[in-house]
Structure 1
């Protein structure tokens, strides 16, 4: 006759040490990765009127034209304010920021600007120009903060054959 031995059926202990080690390493790595993978968004407006808005013809419109030959700053009342040709293959961003700061000092309530972009402008130049016209670094109480220039940027296509005002005047013999 055979004896039946009863097996002892108990719940075995789960060894979760390896899983806990993985979580201890994985959680901080994922949290640090979230800080470095932020998505930046730039709000854009398109020129034209909103529904129900009417523009008066004498309204001040600040226009910055970005073409491969340089940057042109103008308004609807006086025409061209400043022409900034390309220097050493780079757009003149410090001078652009200086002129826009002077305009902002005269018109502190103005927040919108139209940015005309030529067809041969690369993406990095466009983004850097948008960052330049939106804000500038300012020192307040021994710390650097971003001062507001014209945060409401509207994009518009410039004409394909557009040239800077200074070079157009020289080529045709116009200007003094």
Structure 2
């Protein structure tokens, strides 16, 4: 029996990339257009600084303010860490924290201490994420009118976060 070998004819196969190019022509502009809407904001946060070990120097400003905002379930407390004085208590509006009231007070405080840029947010362990974000937004920037235009300026851009001390049976008194 004789086996015949089939001769393979070398045929060149042409790669058809038309469908792939059509896909790229549609996909690339779509991705570029949607990239503008998918921006992510990153906010640099720090841990609170511990100044107990360092001795205060004589050239430290006596008027220096070390701001802390304590976030409790029913209020904000604005505290000066150096003097341990409660500067302001901002009660909740209904069920929500009054971030605009806190913001308004901090704008007034910034006018008294324009060189201050640092603030520490101390919150309870069960503080909702949304409350922390709204608080960070309230303490970071403020709007100022100049020549008929609204300009965003930095309020307290250096934000540190930490845990709040235990709330001792609600608040004691009103605004300080």
Give the TM bin, normalised by the shorter chain.
Answer: 0.7 to 0.9
Q: What is the match of residue 92 of structure 1?
A: 98
2:119 to 90, 113, 123: 113
Q: What is the match of residue 71 of structure 1?
A: 76
Higher helix fraction (1 or 2)? 1
Q: What stretches of structure 1 of length at least 5 have no aligned partner?
A: 1-6
Q: How many angstroms apart in 1 are the aligned matches of 2:118 and 2:153?
A: 15
Q: Residue 161 of structure 1: CA displacement?
A: 3.1
1:94-173 aligned within 5 A: 94-140=100-146, 143-162=149-168, 164=170, 167-169=171-173
What secondary structure sits across from 2:172 in the alignment? helix
Change (3 A) 1:163 1:40: farther
Q: What is the match of residue 41 of structure 2?
A: 40
Change (3 A) 1:26 1:94: same
Q: What TM-score does the superposition give when structure 2 sets the normalisation length?
A: 0.76
What secondary structure sits across from 1:71 in the alignment? strand
Q: What is the match of residue 3 of structure 1?
A: none
Aligned length: 163
Q: Residue 123 of structure 1: CA displacement?
A: 0.7
Contact 2:65 2:116 in 1 (8 A): no
Q: What is the match of residue 60 of structure 1?
A: 65
Contact 2:72 2:167 in 1 (8 A): no
Q: How many angstroms apart in 1 are the aligned matches of 2:124 and 2:140?
A: 19
Residue 26 (str. 1) matches residue 27 (str. 2): yes
What secondary structure sits across from 2:46 in the alignment? coil
Q: How many angstroms apart in 2 are the aligned matches of 1:162 and 1:115?
A: 18
Residue 82 (str. 1) matches residue 78 (str. 2): no
